[in-house]
Structure 1
Amino acid sequence: LTGAGIKVVPTGIAHGTLTAVARGTPVEVTTLRRDVATDGRHAVVAFTDDWRADASRRDFTINALYADPGDGAVHDWFGGLNDLAARRVRFIGDPYRRIAEDHLRILRFFRFQARFGDTVDADGLAACAARANDLMALSRERIAAELLKLLVAPGAVATVALMTEHGIWRAVLPEIDASGVARLAELAAREDAAAIPPDAIRRLAALVPRDPERGESIAARLKLSKQQRTRLIAALTDRRGSVYEDAYRSGREAAADRALLVFEPFDARLAARHVRDWPVPRLPIAGGALIARGLPAGPVVATTLKAIEAAWITEGFPAQPRVDELADAAVAEAISAQAASASSGRP
């Protein structure tokens, strides 16, 4: 590559992988490999020039299809083309052996099923169910990465239901049960009705119990990013007022999530779609304007401003003329209250 004038980045030399950068485009290149030893999490590999040996270490038949860049011929040693046509996810060889080599293949089986599968391979399903406890040996980051990809796949609801039925989650996410699957199905229907794209964190919020503290525990266990953790907990927190008040106080994303997750009539779905593009307004008045109206500086300014804001939200965020009216009334009331307090001798 260097001789051809192509930049080379040694991204994974130990595994036979480098990145070639040509005309600004990175292309990851991995040489042929065969497994020397595996422990369910990592593999020790040796390099080879045997294409079939390289293909045989893949997980599923549909992932072991090789195309010749010269003539476009597809090499298929394990029936991957037939499985692809049948929309069937099938392990290469003995499913138990493939899972023993890499426990993550349990979750990959279901993720590929959710994306590509129609019929479920009985042997693969039985092996995954029997070895589900092997997931405990994996890092939570790897589990989370597969779960979040699975949740936005076209067949996510049916696949998660299948996993729950066969106890796949029990060892690592026991919070997921049939009621969570029902909530996920309802959310997916609402997303579809509102033409809102599926979102992995929103769908995870549907799948787990509606409890912010338990959401915090799950987020920590899966080692979600700070942004993902914040969004999950917000989605599991009760909404404040209308969907628009919620968007004003908590942000549009959180408001849309909660509108879809809190089971209300169909119009909540439409509101969720609308609020995603709603230009969140800002209260068009500040403390200085209240002082200019005669309100003395001090804590009373903040208190009066909050009262104006509450009335403004209740009235649906009216424009400046109405805000001025609310401010005049609130300032007059605050001054009157201060005068009454002074005359009675109260501090």
Structure 2
Amino acid sequence: MTSSLSSSTATPLKKQFKKLDSPEFKSLFTPELDFLAKLFNKNGFEIRIAGGAVRDLILGKVADDIDFATTATPKQMIAMFEKEEIRMINNKGERHGTITCRINDKENFEITTLRFDVETDGRHAEVQFTTDWMLDAQRRDLTINSIFYGRIAKDAESHDADILKAIQSNSAGLASISGERMWLELKKIMMGNHVDSLMRVMNDLNLTVHIFTGFIDELNFDELSHVWKSCKDLNPLPMTLISAMFNSLEQLSTLHARIKMSKDELQLGQFILQHRIDPVFQKTRLQQNGPTYDANASGESKKDMKKMKLENNFLNDDATLHAENTENKILSEGKILSDKQVGDDLAEPKKSAMLIKCEDLLVEEPSNLLKAKSRILELLKYFNLRDALKQFGDWTPPKFPVSGVRLIEVGVPKGPQFSRELSRLKEIWKQSRFTKTEEELLQCVKIKKKIAE
């Protein structure tokens, strides 16, 4: 397939072009896009793919979010589309040079005129339209350019010295960039190549101080390097890797105040920080992967982590006690548990301690089970526990057999006693490895009532 549409990259210091002729690039050319490209060419305008889609194509990925840049001004695009009776939508972007058209009532295309900044305060800019591709490239944040460069480089150290120098000399400008934008770009770094090396380079260039304000000297780049190298092929979420740099929940909260991460991202970070010093995860990681995370060196302690658990409602007191008892048995008897080692009610002999821990964490989570399971899977990626990741990923938690209605029917009064009894029954059910039936659990309620009387 041939078309006038092209994809190119450029840096402010040296003009560079890379021709794309890959299957991923060719797959973009729907009849609608081909028509659009020919229309611009017929009217004497250039149109190119821009932004993140170029990065994806260079990496051999199919771009699913495509932006376009053109030498045509907004007025010229409007006149061209009106002449061809092409529908235009969302005219709010016209002032900034962006026109969105819809071809054949099937596909929308967002196209922005080349421009350069006349005046900017870091977030908003007064722009002037141009037909010079280099001028448009130069208006973009040098830091962002360096991030794109790091994400596609084959060699972790193949950074242009002049570019690095230019980035460092302009690093103070990041102070005026919004926290949300920094967070977006930081997550992109975590999904790219050479994560550990790139973060160290950014730190050397005084860039990270504008993101991790208040604890820049405490960032744990060694842990980030260990985690990223061990699990990068498992596609961990950005927050999973970012958590590796933190030594406390306080640091995570400080970052959250700066960049306003989503609720799910915050909860995942909290979850990993809470559980990465867990004896079961630590022991299994040590057995499978060598050196483990040094909680004492970072100032974390079991007392601190138990407090974190209670503050964030991940485990209640009974569940914490059960987990600690299970851990003690695991650590004293070894990795594999048998029926006799954890009780006669354990239905699955020789289930690994890691799987038992993951199952317990999931059934203890009171919120959305899918999100809870996702957090646990990310924790397993963090520790590079591949066997457990596969087995737990295939596990579906059973439904607790006793309803609140049944508890009331057998005489458990509403209020604090009801909550305590429900929690106690869930703990009994969990210790049976989810095998006790409703009848068996209700018998436990009756026994407790008789003893109380």
TM-score where L is the length of structure 1 = 0.71
Deviation of residue 206 (structure 1)?
A: 1.7
Across the two proteins, how many residue pairs are aligned to each other?
A: 283
Tell me, what secondary structure is at the counterpart of 1:167?
A: coil
1:176, 1:269 → 2: CA distance?
32
Equivalent in the alignment of 2:274:
237
CA distance, structure 2, for counterparts of residue 335 and residue 18 of structure 1:
72
Overall identity of the aligned pairs, in %:
23
Flag the 1:120–1:331 CA change in 2: closer, same or farther, 3 A: same
> Residue 114 of structure 1 aligns to which amino acid in structure 2?
R
| Corresponding residue number in structure 1 for 2:240 | 202
CA drift at 1:256 = 2.2
3-state secondary structure, aligned to 1:236: helix
Are the aligned partners of 2:115 and 2:135 in contact in 1 as well (CA < 8 Å)? no
Give 1:214-253 correspondences, 5 Å limit.
Answer: 214-238=251-275, 241=323, 242-250=357-365, 251-253=372-374
2:432 corresponds to which residue? Answer: 315
Q: Of 402, 413, 438, which residue of structure 2 is paired with 1:297?
A: 413
**Letter of the aligned partner of 2:234 in structure 1?**
I
Match in the other structure for 1:327 = 442
**Which residue is 1:81 aligned to?**
none
Change (3 A) 1:284 1:38: same
Write the distance in 1 (CA, Å) between the matches of 2:192 and 2:146: 13
Aligned-partner Cα distance in 1 for 2:135–2:414: 76
Runs ≥4 residues deviating over 6 A: none
Give the unaligned 5+ runs of structure 2.
Answer: 1-80, 279-314, 316-322, 324-356, 366-371
Match of residue 257, structure 1, among 378, 393, 402: 378
1:301 positional shift: 4.1
Q: Residue 270 of structure 1 aligns with which residue?
A: 387
Contact 1:113–1:155 under 8 Å retained in 2 = yes
**1:1-347 superposed matches below 5 A:** 1-9=81-89, 10-23=91-104, 24-48=106-130, 50=131, 53-59=132-138, 104-116=141-153, 118=155, 119-174=158-213, 175-176=215-216, 180-192=220-232, 196-209=234-247, 211-238=248-275, 241=323, 242-250=357-365, 251-261=372-382, 268-290=385-407, 294-299=410-415, 300-318=417-435, 320=437, 324-328=439-443, 330-339=444-453
What is the aligned partner in structure 1 of residue 23 from structure 2? none
Amino acid of the structure 2 residue aligned with 1:252: K
Shift of 1:143: 0.9
Q: C-alpha offsets along residues 242-295 of structure 1, whole Å, 9 cap, x if unaligned?
A: 12211222311222233344x5xx5x4432444345323321112443455x54
Contact 1:7 1:22 (8 Å CA) reproduced: yes
Normalised to the residue count of structure 2, the TM-score between the two structures is 0.56
Matched to 2:396, the amino acid is: P
Please report the RMSD computed on the Cα atoms of aligned residues, expressed in angstroms.
Answer: 2.8
Task: Decide which moves more: 276-285 or 136-145.
Answer: 276-285
Q: Retained in 2: the 8 A contact 1:129–1:167? A: yes
Q: Return the letter of the residue paired with 1:325.
A: E
Asked if 2 retains the 8 angstrom alpha-carbon contact of 1:176 and 1:207, the reply is no
Q: Give, in whole Å, the separation in 1 of the partners of 2:96 and 2:414.
A: 67
Check whether the contact 1:17–1:28 (CA below 8 A) recurs between aligned residues. yes
User: Using a 3 Å threshold, how does the CA distance of structure 1 residues 12 and 289 change in structure 2: closer, same or farther?
Assistant: closer
8 Å CA contact retained: 1:164, 1:178? no
Deviations 1:136-155, CA, capped at 9 Å, x for gaps = 11111111111111111122
Shift of 1:327: 3.4
Distance 1:132 1:47 in 2: 27
Unaligned runs of 5+ in 1: 60-100, 340-347
Cα distance in 1 for partners of 2:82, 2:363 equals 55
